Structure formats: C-alpha cells, structure tokens
Structure 1
Amino acid sequence: MSVVARQGFKYSLIGYFGFLLGTISAIFIFPYDMEFYGKLRYIMPTAEMLLPIVVFGLSFSTVKFFHQTQKEGKHQNLLSLSFAGVLVNFIIFSLLFFAFFLLFPQFKTLQLWKMKMLILPLILIMSLSAVFNKYLTNFKRIVVPNIFENLFPKIANLGAFCLFFFLGVSEKGSYGFFLGMFILSLVGYFFYANKLEKIQPDFSTDYIKKDNLWKEILNYSFYGFLGNIGNYIAFRVDNFMIGEFLNFEENGVYSIILSILSFILIPQMGLFNISAPIINKTIAEGEFEELDRFHKKTSLTLFFLGAVLFSCILVGFPYLSNFIKNGEQLQQAEPVVWILGFAMLFDLATGFNGHIISLSKYYRFNIVVMLFLAITTISLNYLFLTKTQFGIIGIAMATAISLTLFNMIKIYFNYVKFKVFPLTIEMMYVFIICTLAITLAIMFPVTNSNLVNLLYKPAFVLIVIFGANHVMKIFPTEDYLNKKFFKSIFKF
C-alpha cells in the first residue's frame, strides 16, 4: 500500500472516530449543563472566525510555494517567515482589538470582551498550528495533523466539560485544560514536523526579496485569506451571535441539534474522496457531458442517503430527546431540526457544486460566493435576532435561507459555465416517498415505551423507503451496499 493510500485510510478512520466522539458527547454528555457547553461552543467558533485575519492565508502559501523554495533549499525560510508573519499579524490584531474596545467602551458588554483572555491566546495558538498543519501536507503526512486538528479540540471540549460538571473543577480550571489541549497540539505539531525534517529557523528576507517573490506570496495569501474568512464566518457565526444576542444555554441547545443533524452529512465524508479525482479529470479533459452524468449520479446518492437519515431523525427525535438530559429543551427547539435539516438536504442535493468550481479555472468565484454567504448569514442572523422573537429558530431560518441562496448561485454558475445540473426527477420521487413515510410514521400510534417508539418508527420509515425504492428502482442501492463501496470510502 502506498504512502498516500495508507495516509488516506488512516485519515478517514480518524475522521469517522472524531465525528462519532463529538456527536455521542453532544447527545449524551454535554446536555447535562447546556449553559457551560454553550460557553465552550462560543469560545472555539469565535476564535475560528477571527483566525483567518491572523493567518492571512500564509498557511496556504507554505503549500503553494513549497516545491519552488525546496529546490533552492529555502522552504525552511518560507516556514520561518510564515510564523513571523503570523506573530506580527497577531500583535497588530490584538492592538486593534483593544483599541476598538477602548474607543467604544459601550461594547465591553460583549462576551467577546469578557472572554478575551481565553479567546486571544487561542487565536494565536490555532494560527501557528494552522501553518504547521498545511506545511506537513507537503510531506504527504495528513494523519497526525488530523489528530491534532480534529481530535484534540473534541477532547478539549469533552475534558473541560467533564472536569467542570462531573469533577467540580472551577470554570477557570476547566478553561485552563481546554486551552492546554491546544497548546499540547501545537507542541505536538512542532515535534512531529521536526521528526520529519529538522526545523532550522531562518528569518532572512534576502530570498523572498529576490525577483519580488514576496509579492507573489502576499497575493496568493490574500486570495486564501478571502476564501478562508468567508468560509469560517459563514459556518461559525451562528454560535457567536447566539452567545452575544441570546444566551449560552440557547447556544448549547443549538449546538446539540447541529450535532444530531450532522448524521445527515455522513455520506458526504467518503464520497468526496472518491469523486475529487474524477471531477478533476473530466474538467481537465473538457468532458462536460460526462461531468454532468457524474454530477447527477453523486448528487442523487448524497440526497437519497441523506434523505433516509433525515427521515429517521425527524420521526425519532421526539423520543430520542427523552433519553437526553434536559431533553425538554431540545423538544422545544424541534423546529430547528426541521428547518436546518431541509437546508442541509438541499445542500446534499446540489452535490459537489463548490468542488467543481474549485477544481476549475473559475476557482476565484468560490471566494466571491463564500463572502456572499458570510455577509448574507450575518445580516439575516442580525435581522432575525433583533427584529423578531424567534430566538434560535430565527437563527436556523437565517442559516437555511443563506445556505439555500448560496447553493442556488452555484447551481446557476455551473450550468452557465459547464452545462451541468445536479437536480433530477428521481430526487422528487425520493422526496415524495420520504414525505409519505414520515407522515405515516408520525400518524402511527405512540406506545408507552420511548425505546419502542424510537426503534419502531424509524424502522417503519426505512421499510417504506427501501420497499418503494425496490419497486420503483429509483436509486441503485445494490451498488452501494457492497464491500467494494465501503472500502472505497476509506481511500483518497
């Protein structure tokens, strides 16, 4: 087995394990104290949202210019200067941060200010880690960085929560453990990078001044920054705004619902690994008819599997919440499940729209639409939070609207440029069957046992969907329920 294959297999295993760890913790452990979990889910997304400002795309440049600098033995110079750039950016960012609150003291009521002594160090640590993370991919090593990037934050959340709630450690002590895990991951990055190739700091600027290489690096980093900040803001701003405008308890409830709904996205985790090389090849060779066929096929696969999982979640959620501590709070927020779930389902139905754009010569357009998504999400969130009394249901509506518009723009762009379209009539059949199955399951009598209800209603949904599919031959399930497919989702 090649290095890439081994790394891909291990990477996927860690990804699935991290997903399960995070989801199981969110369902069965974090609900014991929604408020403290809401605080944890405010801190990290807020730090991640501000992270791109400090990194400024320099992590991407360590990949883009690696081979060019390696030929001249200057890749360590590029790495050192990237770290220096991050440190300078962080100092400037921190000065502007404190200057803002000094000039506008009325904003000191924000949680961002109150938690600054935790959020600011976390931004610096994560920024330095981001540079290491990208740099290590040059050595075709993605497994250990994936442990630091995905597992350590989940352990930080879980450990801090358990220390606070189950062991009675103070909030400050629990936050200390939380931050300590990120420091430990940064130290791990350093030792692992040093093991692959001894790190030799070189802060000389002579090389990048030659032929104005620094301009190329800054230009590329700037595009990376624009795309990254749009992505981070769009998908992290919910937790930040709930924490600021509502309360941490609501943030905890919202985060737990997101964790439950993340089951819908499981099929996506493996399929992109399979699809990326095919998308890249068809675009490079100009085989757009083949790309359209493949796009429709993968989109139907994602939609069908996502619809099955979502249908089971919808009919089982009221009974699952009875097994969750403080589940009544989740039951009150059930509309969030429906609103966000349908938005995620449409996202799956559009397939790999974004990846098609990213792998084409129009990759810069992704930056534009990502910034559009970020601005739209922030604007709608603010509108629903300040002009309505919907609470987290309003946040869900804002996210669903902006995500749907985002996908519709990409559908239109890909149709104009490549004549590819992801939606098919088969999806409508799947939607009708799932709607029928959900309706019947909800109408069926409720027993006195929550466990029986939790098992038999989703089981009925599965029987109806797969039974109808077997008769109508909408989706070729036999192509996916075999050993070859399950092996392929663990490969790049």
Structure 2
Amino acid sequence: MNVIKKQAFLSTIFSYGGVLVGFVTQFFLIGNFLEPAQNGLLAVLLSYMYVLVQLSSLGFNAAGSRFFPHFRNAQKGHNGYLFLGLSVGLIGFLITSLGLFLLKDTIIKNEENSTLFADNFYFLLPLTFATLLFNLLDNYAKNLYDTVTGTFLAQFLQRLLQLVAILFIIFQIVDFQQFMYLWVFAVSFYVIPMFWKATRLEGFSLKPNFSVMTPTFSKEFGFYSFLTILTGFSSMVILYIDKIMLAGITTFTETGIYNTASFFGSVMGMSLLAINKAAQPLIADSFASNDLDNISTIYRKSSITSLIVGCWIFLGIYLNIDNLFLFLKPEYSAGKTVVIIICLGKLFDLATGLNGTILTLSKYYIYDTYIMVGLIFITVTLNYFLIPIYGMNGAAFALAIATIYYNLIRYLIVWWKLGMQPFTFDLVKIIILSITIGLTISSLPTLNGNKIMTVADMAYRSITLTLVYGVVIYWSKISPELNGAMKNTWQQIVKFVQ
C-alpha cells in the first residue's frame, strides 16, 4: 500500500496540475478563441484516434499487464516484452490505417462538416501512431512500478504543449490550418520523453526473445489479447462514441459545445485514474500470489478515496457552473445540463472503484468481454435514439446510463465470483456529508456585477467549500489515507511559512 500511496499521490498531483492547464486551454482559450465547429473538429479527431489506438494495439497492453510477471526478468531484457509489443502494435497500426483509408468516404459523411473534417482527416495517422507507441512504453514503465512518468507526460506536459499551441493562434502568429500542425505536434510529442524514460528502466531491451512464448502460454496470451480487443474497444466506445455520433447526427458546432461541457466529467475521473495506474501492477502480482485480501483492501480504499475527491470536485462544479459559463461565448450555455448529467454518472463510476481492473486481471476476465460487447450495443443504441431527440443532452444521458450499466454489472460479478465489494457505510456518510455541505454553501449570497465580482464569487465559494469539506472529511476519519495526505500537506505549508 505504501507504493500505491506514493505513486498515486504523485500521479494525482500531476493529473490535477494537468487538469488545471487543460481547463484553462479547453474552457477559456478554446472556448473563446476557436469557433465551436473547430472545437468540435479537435474533439472528433481525438475520439477517432483513441478508438484507432485501441484497435491497433490488438489487446497487447491489457494482456501484457496481466501476464507481465511471466516476462519480468531484467537480466534477460524482460524476455523480449518490448520487441513483441512493438511488433504487434506495428501490425495493428498497418491494419487500422488500411481500414481508415478504405472507410474515409463513409466516415466523412455529414455535408456540413465534411470540408473541415476532410481537410484534417489524415492527421489521424501521426496522432494514432504516437499514442500507440506511448501507451506501450507507458504500460511497460507501469509494470515496472513507474506510473508517475506517464501520468506527468500525458496529463500535464501534453496539455501544456496544447496550451502553447493555442497561444500561437490567439496572438495571430498562425492561421487555423497552421495551428493544426502545431496541435498535432503538441499531442504527439510526449512519446519522445516516454521512450527516453523507458530506456533508463532496468532491463530495457528491444531484442527479440521468445523463450516465454511457449505454445501453451502463447495460446493463453493470444486468447486474452483477443478478448481485450473487444473490451478495450468497448471502453473507447463509451468514452468517445458520443462525440463521433453527435458530430455525425448534428454538427461540429454542437459537438464542440458538448466537448467543452464533457471535460468536467474527465476532471472528476482523474483521482480514480491515478489510483488505477498505481494499483494495477500490484493487483496483478496479488492475483499471481493469490493474495485476495490485499486486493479486497485496495478495492475498498480506492472506492472511498475516489468518491471523496469526486464529490468535492462535483460540488465545486455545481456551485460555480453559472459563473463558469459566463466566461464563454453565449452559445456554450447550452452545455450546462450536459455537465450535470455526465458528472452524476461519473460519481457512480467513482463509487465502484477498481471493479474493472480487478475483473480484467482475474481468471474471470471473460465476463468483462460479455459486459463490454453488451456495452457497445447499449451505447450506440442509446445515442442513436436520444441524440436526434435531445441533441447533446441525449448524448450525455446515453453516456451516464452506459457508465452506470457497466459499473453495476462489473460490481456484481466481482462480488459474486471473488466475494469482494467496496461498499461500506462510509460511502453513505460521504454522500450525506456532500449533500449537506453543498446545500449549505449554495445558500450563501451571490456576488453579482462585472466579471471581477464573478471571479470573487467563485473564489469565496470554492475556498469555503474546500475548507469546510476538508475539515469535515478529516474530522470524520473516513479515509486514513487522505487524512495522512492532508496532514502532511498542512505540515509542509506550515514549514514553508515558518
């Protein structure tokens, strides 16, 4: 647990530092200096890219995480793990690139969006290849218990470079089409320092070594990889199909508004993402040694910590939502409902903790495949029927419902097959405390007037929320891990002041 706490703490710091940079970039800069349709283009390119990356990996990263204990041997270059991953990734990239060329006309089908999308369609290739390679190297480092580097590069550095790219267009140094080259570079650059870091880890080798790949193990590894292609693809579907279908059914303008609003949901998920990256290799090792008690402890604590942080962020968003949208172009105000719907769905995701990670790393991983195949059908169907009726709100409803569906089913299967479940009365306490604090702070007087008064209103509400919420959570002793982190942080502040 000490390894998890240290790695998760550092990852969380970088994640939320990146969130701050991303928030400034996505919400204030892109929301004000790009047209909503251009915002929608960026969202659609990233959405397609993540789906293509998942397909191109051919399930190797997920299988590599589960079976890495079989490869781990620094003296032998981890038995050719990276060579195998690079080979599989290159084959997958060539296959998906061919499919992309063949399906180009089908993908670019909305007449209103076709010119904007067609002019930038082939940026998908460098974006996909760079992200595919980064994911392989990040996964390799994560399996060697370095989860911080990848988080720093993906969550902070990448977003910082995107902010710099936006500044070029704000100061009219480049036009939009020139900006697109800068943006693609900003999104792709992180693979270079990630490769350098991977070479510094003990046992780095790109030499082939197939000694581990016995016929029996190869069959098991290949079967798991095949299943995780489906599960991984389904995960990408739930995360990105809403933007893809929204752009196809409506316009890039509406997609751009939705993209900015949905950013808040990703902010809420940062804490669980950091915990997941830190816990995944330990859970894999615990399964290898049959230490189910350790997994159960990680499961329970991840749920409590994630929900505490998630409720705090949700309250901050909810209490300031009207103020936040005053800083955007008027058309973006249509996204307020999207924010609330997506964030409520995300709270259920946080409450169920690491259910997906535990299930996919267990011997019952095939159940996750069934869940995800069902998820594809449910998500696409919900978007297909809800978007034409409710527009971007329909996409938000579809995402929230799908999030609740797959987390609920995963929770039930982990409980049924492994006898683990994260829910305790502490979760009820967190929800009750959060509702009480939220209602109390929402009754505070509003500072009306110009934008300076709006900033002041946001500041005093956010500071009040943080202080009250932090004191109540600390006093309740619901999470010893967070109490320890808050105590250490306070001691560092006092030491700095003195």
TM-score (norm 2): 0.77
Tell me the residue number matched to 1:306: 310
Deviations 1:211-265 (A, max 9, x none): 4775455334323322322222221222322333333333333233233344434
Partner secondary structure for residue 190 of structure 2: helix
Counting only pairs closer than 5 Å after superposition, residues 271-420 of structure 1 correspond to structure 2 as 284-285=290-291, 287=293, 291=296, 299-322=303-326, 324-326=327-329, 328-386=330-388, 388=389, 390-420=390-420
Tell me the distance in 2 between the aligned counterparts of 1:274 and 1:484. Answer: 19
Tell me the residue number matched to 1:120: 125
What amino acid sits opposite 1:250 in the alignment?
E
Tell me the distance in 1 between the aligned counterparts of 2:420 and 2:213. Answer: 44
Kindly, what percent of the aligned residue pairs are identical?
A: 21
Tell me the residue number matched to 1:222: 226
Aligned with 2:51 (options 38, 42, 49): 49
What amino acid sits opposite 1:124 in the alignment?
F
What amino acid sits opposite 2:101 in the alignment?
F
Farther-moved stretch of structure 1 (53-62 vs 108-117): 108-117
Q: CA RMSD in A?
A: 4.3
Aligned with 1:250 (options 230, 234, 254): 254
Structure 1 residue 396: deviation in Å?
0.8
Aligned with 1:153 (options 148, 152, 158): 158
Tell me the distance in 2 between the aligned counterparts of 1:305 and 1:145. Answer: 22
Which 5+ residue runs of structure 1 have no aligned equivalent? 488-492
Contact 2:166/2:179, CA 8 A, preserved across alignment: yes
CA shift in 2, pair 1:165/1:378, >3 Å: farther
Tell me the distance in 2 between the aligned counterparts of 1:211 and 1:418. Answer: 29
Farther-moved stretch of structure 1 (421-430 vs 356-365): 421-430
Farther-moved stretch of structure 1 (70-79 vs 32-41): 70-79
Q: Does 1:235 align with 2:239?
A: yes
Aligned residue-pair number: 475
TM-score (norm 1): 0.78
Farther-moved stretch of structure 1 (68-77 vs 397-406): 68-77
Farther-moved stretch of structure 1 (461-470 vs 241-250): 461-470
What amino acid sits opposite 1:57 in the alignment?
G
CA shift in 2, pair 1:245/1:306, >3 Å: same
Deviations 1:383-406 (A, max 9, x none): 2123x0x22111111111111122
Which 5+ residue runs of structure 2 have no aligned equivalent? 490-498
CA shift in 2, pair 1:419/1:222, >3 Å: closer
Contact 1:27/1:260, CA 8 A, preserved across alignment: no
What amino acid sits opposite 1:379 in the alignment?
T
Counting only pairs closer than 5 Å after superposition, residues 90-169 of structure 1 correspond to structure 2 as 90-101=93-104, 107=109, 109=111, 115-137=120-142, 140-169=145-174
Tell me the distance in 2 between the aligned counterparts of 1:10 and 1:439. Answer: 32
Contact 2:161/2:186, CA 8 A, preserved across alignment: yes
Q: Does 1:177 align with 2:182?
A: yes
Partner secondary structure for residue 25 of structure 2: helix
What amino acid sits opposite 2:323 in the alignment?
Y
Structure 1 residue 335: deviation in Å?
1.3
Farther-moved stretch of structure 1 (212-221 vs 239-248): 212-221
CA shift in 2, pair 1:366/1:213, >3 Å: closer
What amino acid sits opposite 1:410 in the alignment?
R
Structure 1 residue 199: deviation in Å?
5.6
Deviations 1:315-373 (A, max 9, x none): 22112322x232x3343322112211211122222233323424533233233323333
Deviations 1:141-169 (A, max 9, x none): 54444444444532453233222233341
Q: Does 1:24 align with 2:29?
A: no
Tell me the distance in 2 between the aligned counterparts of 1:429 and 1:134. Answer: 36
What amino acid sits opposite 2:383 in the alignment?
N
Q: Does 1:87 align with 2:90?
A: yes
Q: Considering only CA atoms, is the larger Rg found in Structure 1 or Structure 2?
A: 1
